[in-house]
Copies of this chain bind each other. A is one copy, B any other.
Amino acid sequence: MEKYKLGDKVFDCPVGLASNAINGKWKLQILNLLSQEECMRYGNLKRRIEDVSEKMLIQHLRELEQDGLIERKLYPEVPPRVEYALTEVGRQIIPVIVALKQWGQLFRI
């Protein structure tokens, strides 16, 4: 039986792997913003995703980075600048975001 591997986690099904990768209260919104902007600074992400706490934002960014969907670029300036961007693998998930957004549009009021 075929297997699917992300980091050190192994799944029996591609949907299970994908589900695990995007599972998290803010992950899809992070990916959505990054899919539109080439790259984005931490503070900008924080402002665009209202209600997210710094802790959760950082935590999700770290997980997405570990899973290879995004990359973190640190510019050692003063004040420090950190930019997040989709990786090649991350960009390949954009069709999912697009489809998801279209589905969500069905519920517009």
Which residues of A come within 8 Å of B, CB atoms?
A: 2-6, 10-19, 22-29, 32, 50, 89, 92-93, 95-109
Contacts and interface: CB of A to CB of B under 8 A. Distances in A.
Contacts of A26: 19
A99 B101 contact: no
B109 A103 contact: no
Contact of A104 (B10, B13, B25, B107): B13
Contact of A101 (B18, B25, B98, B109): B18
Nearest to A93: B103
A97 B6 CA distance: 18
A109 B4 contact: yes
B100 A19 contact: yes
Contacts of A96: 96, 99-100, 103
Given A14-B101, A18-B101, A95-B103, 7 more contacts: A10-B109, A11-B104, A14-B102, A15-B101, A92-B103, A92-B106, A95-B102
